[in-house]
Amino acid sequence: MSFGAASFRGAANQRGAVVDHRFARRALINEFRRGRLRRDQVCDAHPELIRAATNFGQPTSVRCPICEEQEVVLVTYVFGPRLPAFGRVVSKASDMATLDRRSDDLAAYVVEACTGCRWHHLLKVLPVGGRRPRSAASASQ
């Protein structure tokens, strides 16, 4: 992912902003490693998140920064109109593509989780679906 000046100005072809939480992740890990946070304070993932991570999570090669024993998995939840209040777990690229074609503005939350120690962290939030700006060619028709 790259950032350019257009991402700060709200370019016409953008549907929304991606919110990246990597700095917060790094700060949390640093606080844990300095001994300012206990393991039970950071390894507190909800059982449903661990279930989703076990059954639907996308594997990564990233070691858990807390237990350093297992690789974390990514779980993507999508929230928005006409979806369950607790969100929808997306496990396949085809499901995400279907949601992205919807006219509703949706938000995808990508969560990193360790099924071993139950550590988790929200990595980013990104827009899905929604009305796309009309191109100049379609506007003139």
What pLDDT sits at residue 132? 60
pLDDT bin (cut points 50, 70, 90) of residue 6 is very low
Is 89 within 8 Å of 77 (Cβ atoms)? yes
Mean pLDDT of the chain: 86
- CB distance 124 to 18 below 8 Å: yes
Q: What is the pLDDT of residues 77-92, one digit of tens each?
A: 999 999 998 889 998 9
- pLDDT number for residue 79: 95
105 close to 93: Cβ distance less than 8 angstroms: no
pTM of the model: 0.79
Q: Taking residues 61-80, report their average pLDDT.
A: 96
Length of the chain: 141
| Higher pLDDT, residue 3 or 15 | 15
Distinct helix (H) and strand (E) counts, the chain? 6, 6
Where do the structural domains in the chain lie, given as residue ranges? 17-130
β-bridge partners, 113: 73, 120
**pLDDT score, position 15:** 62
What is the mean pLDDT of the segment spanning 38-56? 96
Structure tokens at 61: 């090669």
